[in-house]
Amino acid sequence: MPGISRRTLVRGGGALLGGGVLLSAAGCSGFGTPDWDVAVIGAGITGLSAARNLVDHGMSAVVLEARGRIGGQVHTDHSFTSVPVELGAGLIHGSDAYTWELVDESGADTVRVRGGSGGGSPIETDSAPLDTEDAASYLRRMDVPESDWPPVSIDNEPLDRWSATWMHRYDLFDWWSASRENHRVVDGYDRVLEPLADGLDVRLSTPVREVRRIRSGVELAAGPDGEQIFRAARCIIALPLGVLQTGDVRFDPPLPTSHLDAVRSLDTTDALKLVYEFDRPVFPEEPDALGWEQGADFVFWRISTGDADSGSPEVVAAWAAGAGARDLLAMDEDARFDAGLAALADVLGEELPAPVARTTHDWAADRYSRGAYLYVPPGAHDAPAALAEPVDGVLHFAGEPTTGENTVEGGYVNGYDVTDQLIAGL
């Protein structure tokens, strides 16, 4: 657990600014007078943390969310079985993640996942990568044997799609190699959103269509046909990269070239989770993850332990990322489930009963995501910082595309960081 909590820092600091401070800072008057200090686009973990911080500092904020739920890539399905199932983020990585303070505050139950993490050695290299070099070429050039490479492709794209400079700059080779504890939130990852969302003005089913700059700040056209207008002095844009790349949200005037280039140069990985419920236990007693090795087509996670005697079901998720996920996404849904089941039977070395229920979510086809989480391709190592530059002090991008991080913790911390900077700049 980190020493200083993002949440208690704000609450205990007593440094509330008082409502309306942004409006006067922006010199807003006349045409298009803003109704809010800040409008936040996207109610994922980043947008919610940003709005929480602003409101805790006494500002007014409205959060506009396209979907009929909050959480974005934190997507817990409570309807599947007796246990909540994660169709997006599933794990808290490490016992010192900032997200633990949200777990504590929400009172959510967690369990440590036995098995399934790195466990390699730190990677020694003599010199820094070239700017356009991919991570696999760099490791080859440094004579690091492939058997020592970090197992990135299990969770993400293979190393030949990653920027070596990015990974080197942020010690990601070692991060991916290091063994770490993973934890699941038993009663649903979405529980950790509760302390953030509590009391916020979140407008669900309100997709933003256009971000227009006006003299007093921004005017957002939202709703199915862009018929709802929201005016604010400033705007936090906590959208996924895939949505920014499609141009589904228009900017008037267009974004600066630096920002457009940054959006173009980053990329989103493909990831797919296929979740099965069996009417009896199928996993061995331990570990909770199987198939965790470089080059494996699937990793399998036990989500809930069944009990043969009481007849309680067992829920298992099959996980594929990068090229493996793309192969599956090219199939129809039945074929995806069949492939996952056959691979699970292979790993367990036994025939499996037909699942009594199954569910999945296609993040690539999801128009409010357009892919799973972000990665940083060769040459794009400066793109997150370029996109994080505020546009005229009014538009503030946030989340994965500005940090290059792809964790719930990363979004949580960034929501606070972006709004701390916004407030400091007043």
Taking CB under 6 A as the binding criterion, the range among 2-10, 38-46, 52-60, 210-218 that sits at the site for ligand FAD is 38-46
Near ligand FAD by CB under 6 A: residue from 239, 244, 266, 383: 239
Contacts with ligand FAD by CB under 6 A: the residue count is: 42
42: contact with ligand FAD by CB under 6 A: yes
d(Cα 267, Cα 213) in Å, to the nearest integer?
A: 27
Q: Which of 123, 134, 120 is nearest to 166 (CA)?
A: 134
- In angstroms, the CA 114 to CA 51 distance is 35
Name the residue nearer to ligand FAD (CB basis): 139 or 408: 408
For residues 388 and 386, give the distance between their C-alpha atoms in angstroms, rounded to a whole number: 5
Return d(Cα 280, Cα 312) in angstroms, integer.
7
What separation in angstroms does the CA of 59 have from each of 219, 232, 416? 18, 11, 14
Confirm or reject binding of residue 240 to ligand FAD (CB under 6 A): yes
Task: Report how far residue 123's alpha carbon sits from residue 177's, in angstroms, rounded to the nearest whole number.
Answer: 8
Q: Which stretch binds ligand FAD (CB under 6 A): 236-244, 277-285, 292-300, 417-425?
A: 236-244
Segment near ligand FAD (CB under 6 A); pick from 194-202, 235-243, 301-309, 343-351: 235-243
Buried b (16+ CB within 10 A) or exposed e, 180-209: eebbbbebbbbbbbebbbeebebbeebbbb
What is the b/e burial string over 9-29, where b = at least 16 CB atoms within 10 angstroms of the residue's CB?
Answer: ebeeeeeeeeeebbbebbebe
- Give yes or no for residue 237 binding ligand FAD (CB under 6 A): no
395 counts as binding ligand FAD under rule CB under 6 A? no
Q: What is the DSSP track for 368-380?
A: TTSSSSEE--TT-
10, 23, 45, 59: which one binds ligand FAD (CB under 6 A): 45
Q: Confirm or reject binding of residue 46 to ligand FAD (CB under 6 A).
A: yes
The single residue among 400, 404, 413, 418 that binds ligand FAD, judged by CB under 6 A, is 400
Q: Choose the binding region for ligand FAD from 135-143, 234-242, 309-317, 333-341 (rule: CB under 6 A).
A: 234-242
State both tokens at 419: 């709004």
* Tokens 């949580």, located at residue: 412
Q: Is 312 helix (H, G, I), strand (E, B) or coil?
A: strand
C-beta of residue 355 within 8 angstroms of C-beta of residue 318:
no
- Choice from 34, 47, 195, 355 touching ligand FAD (CB under 6 A): 47
Closest CB to ligand FAD among residues 39, 339: 39
CA distance 74 to 181: 20
Does residue 377 bind ligand FAD (CB under 6 A)? no
43 lies in the site for ligand FAD, by CB under 6 A: yes
Of the candidates 229, 352, 337, which has an alpha carbon nearest to the alpha carbon of residue 281?
Answer: 352
What amino acid is encoded at 263 in this protein?
A: V
Q: Which stretch binds ligand FAD (CB under 6 A): 24-32, 39-47, 190-198, 256-264?
A: 39-47
Q: Show the binding pattern over residues 267-306: x = contacts ligand FAD (CB under 6 A), - = does not.
A: ----x-x---------------------------------
x/- mask, ligand FAD, residues 187-216, rule CB under 6 A, reads --------------------xx--------
From CA 363, how far away is CA 377, in angstroms rounded? 20
Residue 52 or 93 having the CB closest to ligand FAD: 93
* Minimum gap (Å) between residue 92 Cβ and ligand FAD: 7
Tell which positions 51-70 bind ligand FAD, by CB under 6 A: 64-67
Is 368 an interacting residue with respect to ligand FAD (CB under 6 A)?
yes
Q: Does 317 bind ligand FAD (CB under 6 A)?
A: no
Which residues contact ligand FAD by CB under 6 A? 41-47, 64-67, 72-74, 88-91, 93, 207-208, 238-240, 243, 248-249, 271, 273, 363, 368-369, 372-373, 399-400, 406-411
